[in-house]
Amino acid sequence: MNTRLFQDHVVRKEIQLDPIWDFHTLNADEEKQEACQMLVPSCWESNPNLSSYKGKALYSKKITFGGNVRLVCKGISHTAHIYLDQEEVAYHYNAYTEFSVNLQDIPYGEHTLEIKVDNSFHEESALHVSNDYYSYGGITRPIVLEALDELFIKHVHFIPYWKDDQWHATISATVSNLSKEQKEGTLNVKIGDEQLSFVDQVFRSNVDTLLERDVVFPRALSYTLEDPKLYAMVAELSYNDQVIDDKIDRVGFREITVSGKDILFNGEKVVIKGVNRHEDYAEFGNAVPMEAMYRDIELIKSLGANCIRTSHYPNDERFLDLCDENGILVWEEAHARGLNEEQMRHKNFERQSLDCIHEMIEHHINHPSIYVWGILNECVSNTEFGRYCYKKQFECIKSLDSSRPVSFASLEGHIGSDLCLDLVDIVSFNIYPRWYHDTPVTEALAHLKRFVDSSDGAGKPLLISEIGAGAIYGNRSNHQEKWTEEYQQYALTEQLNAILSDADMSGVIMWQYADCRVDPGWFHVRPKSQNNKGLVDTYRREKLAYHTVKDIFHAYPDSF
Ligand code: ADA
């Protein structure tokens, strides 16, 4: 199964898993209910009988294999227990991050793989809570079973930087040794014309070995937004002069920095004209098929947008691959939306948040399109405890990748009281003038700037990470009434022009690209149980505002 838009292994072999699994919902005592079959990946809400099912379910499959294998799960929504022949071998929480489990010395023969999935808001769940988006259920992203040698490449991370008028990169590879003995091997990493070799390395038994070096790339071409040049990074691991494992990724040479109030891409000021996007598509839920992802990219490009914010969680890696190919900047966000202090004091909040950050960065660090790591959308950045959480999470990010700016989208209600603006490289606020209140947009911006200038965020780039207005597709009227397509058009015109014509602002990421399903708990503020602030509806039918935003985005330059 393709988990990327390119072949990521040639040497490492995959054990085919056909995509139809046996499926049962489970009752409160975890007894199997009626059987059916389920497509993987997909969310179970795509099945007409389960379109509102919240709870537990069991996926099972018989597979013939043996030896050492690695089960890679790109996303299970949202709590997973994995069993091999009835024995639990892994547990994972969070719908939006990848995890894997190594199964060692399995006798050759037929085995039963079972995955218990839960999408309920159970008491262990701190991040998946009733929210302004839907927590779907199921194996919603690709899943693969790989045959492994005892020595294998876990990761190869690539951080480019510009120094002395040429491109350099720090390359760090992690090699795992599953055997009971120490082994020696050689790792070669090839990018373009350059090859890096870690010859005759010692890999101790049952540990991960980190190999790291800086390399100069005198002939490398830059990755730019106009010409997003990607290079294959091919890592090969040899043992006894035989290549036994490989890992292929794609990288780009580019640097993102901030200087004063500007965001710089390869040293040039860039103005952000972006959209927020939920992974959600009518009938397919959060298991968005490739064709639909591709269409989203086409619609977003034609809008003239140069940025997507993955509100409010890490995205399917195939979507990030598409952004890399198209030179679309990505603000990738760890999972959390609108949590209050009590929710942030949940016993699992810290661990689940840090796990999410670790998994997001570990797997997505090489994507050249990612220009910001974001966290904790509209959580309590205005209390001492909230500040402790933000600080801890930013420290974690910086310890894993200090090459990208960090930010978080603060709440409009925290203008005047936010305590975390010293912790970010880019100050970002979500504001809703002309929607939740009727302040003229220039006044709302002036109010925001007065506060930021008097805070620890003074002198940093200032971004509007959300602004928008709701409209129900097809609801047209001659009156300027909320929920009509005409009102959305009117509000976005004032909102976007005010921001993009203001030299103090680094840009805007409008809310939102497409309508999305919300949790039933939100019915009283969300007609059709959807967040209707999309420029297109859940089927990607364009509202009037799609064309308005297109005209506005095309009228303002991307860079200076
Ligand atoms: C917030 C939040 C979004 C969405 C939006 C809205 O800013 O970050 O997830 O809920 O408001 O539509 O009100």
Is pLDDT at 140 greater than 80 in this prediction? Answer: yes
Half-sphere exposure for 451 (CA within 13 Å, toward CB): 20
Ligand 1 pocket member 382 (CB < 6 A)? no
Chain centre to alpha carbon of residue 21: 26
pLDDT (0 to 100) of residue 525: 94
The count of other CB atoms within 10 Å of the CB of residue 264 is 17
Ligand 1 pocket member 466 (CB < 6 A)? yes
CA of 70 to the centre of ligand 1 (A): 38
What is the position in ligand 1's atom list of the atom closest to the CA of 132? 10
What is the position in ligand 1's atom list of the atom closest to the CA of 533? 12
- Whether 405 and 365 have beta carbons less than 8 Å apart is answered as no
Query: For 1-49, what is each residue's pLDDT tens digit?
Result: 789 999 999 999 999 899 999 999 999 999 999 899 999 999 999 999 9
Residue of 429, 426, 424 lying closest to 449 (CA atoms): 429
CA of 307 to the centre of ligand 1 (A): 18
* Residue whose CA lies nearest to ligand 1 atom number 10: 132
Ligand 1 pocket member 515 (CB < 6 A)? no
- Whether 75 and 99 have beta carbons less than 8 Å apart is answered as no
CA of 409 to the centre of ligand 1 (A): 10
Q: Which two tokens stand for residue 32?
A: 């199997």
CA of 439 to the centre of ligand 1 (A): 18
Ligand 1 pocket member 410 (CB < 6 A)? no
The pLDDT of 443-463, averaged and rounded, is 98
Collect all residues with Cβ–Cβ distance below 8 Å to 502 and sequence separation of at least 6.
445
Residue of 91, 57, 53 lying closest to 73 (CA atoms): 91
CA of 505 to the centre of ligand 1 (A): 21
Ligand 1 pocket member 116 (CB < 6 A)? no
Task: Name beta bridge partners: 84.
Answer: 87, 113
pLDDT (0 to 100) of residue 141: 98
pLDDT (0 to 100) of residue 481: 95
What is the position in ligand 1's atom list of the atom closest to the CA of 470? 12
pLDDT (0 to 100) of residue 2: 86
Is pLDDT at 188 greater than 70 in this prediction? Answer: yes
Ligand 1 pocket member 132 (CB < 6 A)? yes
Query: For 488-523, what is each residue's pLDDT tens digit?
Result: 999 999 999 999 999 999 999 999 999 999 999 999
Is pLDDT at 184 greater than 80 in this prediction? Answer: yes
The count of other CB atoms within 10 Å of the CB of residue 234 is 16
Pocket test for ligand 1, best of 331, 430, 483 (most atoms within 8 A of CB): 430
What is the position in ligand 1's atom list of the atom closest to the CA of 435? 13
User: What span, in angstroms and rounded, lies between the C-alpha atoms of 238 and 326?
Assistant: 34
User: Hey, what amino acid is at 155?
Assistant: H
CA of 467 to the centre of ligand 1 (A): 9
- Burial (Cβ within 10 Å: 0-12, 13-18, ≥19) of residue 194: middle
CA of 519 to the centre of ligand 1 (A): 13
Q: Quote the percentage of the chain above a pLDDT of 70.
A: 100
Ligand 1 pocket member 511 (CB < 6 A)? yes
The pLDDT of 288-301, averaged and rounded, is 98
Q: Reading across the β-sheet that carries 268-269, which strands appear in turn?
A: 256-259, 262-265, 268-269
Is pLDDT at 391 greater than 70 in this prediction? Answer: yes
pLDDT (0 to 100) of residue 560: 61
CA of 530 to the centre of ligand 1 (A): 12
Half-sphere exposure for 142 (CA within 13 Å, toward CB): 18
* Residue whose CA lies nearest to ligand 1 atom number 7: 430
H or E element in which residue 208 lies? strand 208-217
What is the position in ligand 1's atom list of the atom closest to the CA of 312? 9
What is the position in ligand 1's atom list of the atom closest to the CA of 512? 12
Q: Quote the percentage of the chain above a pLDDT of 90.
A: 98
The pLDDT of 362-371, averaged and rounded, is 98
CA of 235 to the centre of ligand 1 (A): 42
Pocket test for ligand 1, best of 129, 280, 466, 509 (most atoms within 8 A of CB): 466
CA of 137 to the centre of ligand 1 (A): 22
Average pLDDT, the chain: 97
Phi, psi of 145 (to 5 degrees): -115, 120
Is pLDDT at 368 greater than 90 in this prediction? Answer: yes
pLDDT-derived band at 545 (thresholds 50, 70, 90) equals very high
CA of 386 to the centre of ligand 1 (A): 19
Is pLDDT at 480 greater than 90 in this prediction? Answer: no
CA of 408 to the centre of ligand 1 (A): 13
Ligand 1 pocket member 337 (CB < 6 A)? yes
Is pLDDT at 207 greater than 90 in this prediction? Answer: yes
- Whether 534 and 300 have beta carbons less than 8 Å apart is answered as no
Q: Which two tokens stand for residue 307?
A: 């940025």
Query: For 533-544, what is each residue's pLDDT tens digit?
Result: 999 999 999 999
Report CA-CA distances (Å) from 31 to 24, 83, 90, 340.
9, 16, 21, 35
To the question of pTM greater than 0.85 for the whole model, the response is yes
Ligand 1 pocket member 533 (CB < 6 A)? yes
Beta strands in 48-182 (DSSP E): 56-73, 76-77, 79-84, 87-93, 99-118, 138-139, 143-148, 151-163, 166-177
The pLDDT of 340-364, averaged and rounded, is 98
Collect all residues with Cβ–Cβ distance below 8 Å to 511 and sequence separation of at least 6.
276, 311, 430, 466, 467, 468, 533
Query: For 400-420, what is each residue's pLDDT tens digit?
Result: 999 999 999 999 999 999 999
pLDDT (0 to 100) of residue 34: 87
The pLDDT of 323-333, averaged and rounded, is 98
CA of 454 to the centre of ligand 1 (A): 26
CA of 131 to the centre of ligand 1 (A): 10
- Whether 298 and 328 have beta carbons less than 8 Å apart is answered as no
pLDDT (0 to 100) of residue 21: 98
Residue of 555, 421, 438 lying closest to 499 (CA atoms): 555
Ligand 1 pocket member 407 (CB < 6 A)? no
Ligand 1 pocket member 280 (CB < 6 A)? no
The pLDDT of 263-270, averaged and rounded, is 97
